[in-house]
Amino acid sequence: MLFSIFCTLLILLITGFWTNQGLYSAAIMCFECILAMMLAINFYEPLATSFKETVGPQLGEPGLLILIFLASLTIMRVLTDKFLRGTLRLPQALDRGAASIFAFVSAQVLIGTIMLATQMLPLGRSVLGFERYDTSLTRRSKLAFFFNPDGFVVSLAQMIGVDRFSWGDRNLALAKPGWLDDLHLRRCNPQQQGRVWTPPDALSVTNVYRVEHIQQLQVAVDGDKSSHNTETVAEQVNPGSSYLVCRVRVAQSAGEPEKTFVLFTPAQFRLAGPRPTGPDSKVQVYPAVGMSDIYITPPFDTTKDAVTRTSAAVLVKMDANTPLALTPEKQQALLKDNAYEFDVVFEVPTEDFQPWYVEFKQGARCEINAKEIKTRPTFATAAAAAQAGSESSDDSAQDDAAKSGDPSTEETRQGRGNANDRDRRRNRSGNDDKKPDVTVGRAPAGRTHLATAIKDRTGEFDLLPVPLPKEALGGHLRDNKLTESHLVLDTPTEEIPEDKRCEKFWIPEGKKMVQVGAEAVSAKSFLGRPLELARSVLGQYHLQTADDKKFFAVGIYMEAEIDGKLVMELQYHPEPEMPERALEEQRRLTRNVLATRPDYKYGFIFLVDPGSEITHFRTDGRGGGQELKISVSP
């Protein structure tokens, strides 16, 4: 507040002074200020690069900007005072009125350029008490109230720099998108003395993908105790926007000088986009709204807590100024080849938004090449068709997509696992001559609908989702078949020798096994919270027969990518005491872990009476549900 008042008074004083000098002198001063400003903005970076060995960019860039501006303005003013003497004879009212316009522009350019250089300094989030954004990055303040001199300078430079004073092959708006916001975000350190400049190669992006929602990080500190909660889905700042996630690698060289940790806030990660397609492209800067759950309650110099791979797999929304620290002791789960790897979340306007580059603090920048993006596959073509209300009684939606010529179908069907393994998995859905006919109806609507059955992996069969090595199953075998178990293991990607693999479930006498496949499209596809299936709601999944008999799920399998590997969690309880409560809470693929993964797949396992006529798949006891017709063999 005081800094804005001070700048406002300076603008008014300079305006008054040059107004009193008359139109002739004020006009010359105005043009000289603009020319000096353009010279300074055009040349300060090349000169700072030339002197980077002696003067670091944190001080060199702002210092050279103000030095070039003041030096060129002084030289031009001295020369004009010496050689362009005289004045215009006009009525005093007209002279002063016209002079005030030029004087005001001169004051705006003079103060704005100085303030622009001041904001480049590593002064922390605030500059002499002025802070451009509140902690949530939702309220933007103008320097010097409605005068906004730094914004005036940037806008004027962009307007002039469209055709002249171009920066390489781009104009200023593309060379420095969201310049004022970027200046504020880059220095949003947890500590004022924290490092702002980082080496250019300290950041890389290894993957880019999208998610429908992230979790809200809630931390409560009471003395030495703290509670950490990520159960709630975070609200989007702009409804209808999309979450874009970049997996980044931050080198240890980005750490604090002579320290063992990297200190930063989420706001110091910025995403620029969309990728420009021409000189008139509009590019904006988007600060991070969340990242992997790597938050540890300060102080950072203790080792009682550490980030785990499980917690880092959850994407959480946090305050833009949340203090974060990457330390070798606490972040071993993230440290790979002298770099920390984790996910950063940006909220972008549309789902087809094309990112341009990601920047961390000042200096570390990585351009995102669309050809090199390794997006996460979604194994959801069939589920998407079912959710849209399409019938899948003849061919699965995946086969329909393949027939339509969708180039991504093969990758979608196979995912990141071994191609042969994916093909085996598809064959294990019973798509052979011995499989009874299965009809899967429209996906139902309503807020109680929590899952959508798909034809793929649905039918009467006793095969495991994928063959598993017997040595990993321990005492969970009965007659070389999988029996009572709750397992977490990596999905095999190599062919297992026939004598060392388990391929089937053990089924109690007098029962038949029916499996129902389901695939997650997104949180919206299952009406907001499909992840409840990892909680108590699992007990409500059941098949209903034509004579209104219910068979509750006694097993479930889930598969998701964790740390670059496909992980499967499988439960099977063939002889439960309470069939309606047979399923346990997930151990590894929990609701929080799955919340940030649009590509997980799962299926339900039921034991039914021989000869049953299955008519519906239901997710609760309130009626409704999805039509599912299966004639179980006698």
Q: Cα–Cα distance between 327 and 306 in angstroms, integer?
A: 9
pLDDT one-digit tens code per residue, 279-294: 778 899 999 999 998 9
Mean predicted confidence (pLDDT) in 151-160 = 87
Tell me what the pLDDT averaged over the chain comes to. 78
Of 245-254, 297-306, 397-406, which one has max mean pLDDT? 245-254
**Would you state the structure tokens that stand for residue 62, as one six-digit string?**
């702002």
Q: What is the pLDDT of residue 414?
A: 32
pLDDT one-digit tens code per residue, 536-582: 444 478 899 999 899 999 999 998 888 778 889 999 999 988 888 88
Mean predicted confidence (pLDDT) in 601-625 = 84
pTM: 0.60
pLDDT band at 301 (very low <50, low <70, confident <90, very high): low
Give the DSSP letter of residue 145: G
Phi/psi of residue 158, nearest 5 degrees: -65, -40
Whole-Å CA distances, 600 to 428, 523, 531: 18, 12, 11
Q: Cα–Cα distance between 574 and 553 in angstroms, integer?
A: 10
- 549-577 burial string, b = 16+ CB within 10 Å, else e? eebbbbbbbbbbbbeeebbbbbbbbbebe
H/E element, 414: helix 409-414
Q: What is the pLDDT of residue 45?
A: 85
Q: Radius of gyration of the chain from Cα atoms?
A: 32
- Least reliable range by pLDDT among 113-122, 130-139, 521-530, 584-593: 521-530
Q: Cα–Cα distance between 473 and 573 in angstroms, integer?
A: 15
Mean predicted confidence (pLDDT) in 119-144 = 71
Q: Cα–Cα distance between 415 and 401 in angstroms, integer?
A: 15
Q: What is residue 33's three-state secondary structure?
A: helix
Say yes or no to pLDDT of 516 above 50.
yes
Cα 146 from chain centroid?
Answer: 34
Say yes or no to pLDDT of 168 above 70.
no
* Neighbour-count burial of 343, counting CB atoms closer than 10 A to its CB (0-12 exposed, 13-18 middle, 19+ buried): buried
Say yes or no to pLDDT of 489 above 70.
yes
Which position has the higher pLDDT, 78 or 566?
78
In this structure, which amino acid lies at residue 316?
V
Q: What is the pLDDT of residue 387?
A: 34
Q: Cα–Cα distance between 421 and 417 in angstroms, integer?
A: 7
- Least reliable range by pLDDT among 60-69, 299-308, 577-586, 606-615: 299-308
pLDDT one-digit tens code per residue, 185-238: 888 888 777 888 888 899 999 888 888 888 888 888 776 677 778 878 888 878
Of 525, 596, 601, the closest CA to residue 216 belongs to 596
Q: Cα–Cα distance between 62 and 45 in angstroms, integer?
A: 9
H runs (alpha helix) in 161-216: 172-175, 179-186
Q: What is the pLDDT of residue 91?
A: 82
pLDDT one-digit tens code per residue, 414-450: 333 333 344 444 344 444 444 457 888 876 654 444 5
Mean predicted confidence (pLDDT) in 461-467 = 92
Q: What is the pLDDT of residue 528?
A: 41
Q: What is the pLDDT of residue 598?
A: 60
Say yes or no to pLDDT of 605 above 80.
yes
- Least reliable range by pLDDT among 39-53, 478-492, 604-618: 39-53
Angle between helices 92-120 and 179-186 (to 10 degrees): 40
Q: What is the pLDDT of residue 574?
A: 94
Say yes or no to pLDDT of 464 above 90.
yes
Give the DSSP letter of residue 50: H
Q: Cα–Cα distance between 481 and 574 in angstroms, integer?
A: 12
Q: What is the pLDDT of residue 423?
A: 40
Say yes or no to pLDDT of 398 above 60.
no
Q: Which residues share a beta bridge with 355?
A: none
Q: What is the pLDDT of residue 396?
A: 36
Q: Are strands 218-222 and 324-326 parallel, antiparallel or unpaired?
A: unpaired
pLDDT band at 391 (very low <50, low <70, confident <90, very high): very low
Angle between helices 149-160 and 23-50 (to 10 degrees): 80
H/E element, 383: helix 381-387
Of 634, 633, 630, the closest CA to residue 613 belongs to 630
Residue whose structure tokens are 């052979």: 432
